């Protein structure tokens, strides 16, 4: 119980930085992952690659609309899970380093 009392929160600035890095890595992962792929860079009707940010934004909000994104097999494409897990792991790691 004492360890919980000594757990320190990270700053909002740190959380925003981790969320930014996490979102960037997530965007790259879903773009080039064979499971998903071609999310924000797609071929149009003429076969040209075009930037379509709306698809990425739709993917970000999908966990709020589709419960299947919360199944463990889909956690890697669930932006909410990835981002909050990243912030949580960073917080745990920072606290572990401070204790040692």
Cα separations (Å) of 100 from 4, 9, 18, 93?
Answer: 16, 17, 23, 11
Grouped pLDDT means (10 residues each) for the chain, 100 residues = 71 98 97 91 94 96 98 96 98 89
Q: What gap in Å lies between CA 69 and CA 72, rounded to an integer?
A: 8
Q: What gap in Å lies between CA 19 and CA 31, rounded to an integer?
A: 18
Q: What is the pTM of this model?
A: 0.86
| SS (HEC) of 47-80 | CCEEECHHHHHHHHHHHHCCHHHHCHHHHHHCHH
**Distance from the Cα of residue 37 to its chain's centroid:** 16
Domain spans, the chain? 12-99
């Amino acid at each position: 119980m004492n360890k919980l009392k000594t757990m320190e929160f990270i700053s909002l600035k740190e959380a925003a930085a981790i969320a930014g890095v996490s979102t960037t890595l997530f965007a790259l992962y879903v773009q080039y992952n064979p499971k998903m792929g071609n999310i924000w860079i797609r071929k149009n009707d003429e076969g040209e690659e075009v930037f379509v940010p709306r698809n990425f934004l739709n993917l970000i909000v999908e966990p709020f609309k589709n419960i299947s994104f919360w199944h463990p097999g889909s956690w890697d494409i669930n932006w909410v899970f990835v981002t909050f897990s990243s912030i949580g792991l960073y917080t745990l790691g920072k606290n572990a380093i401070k204790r040692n």
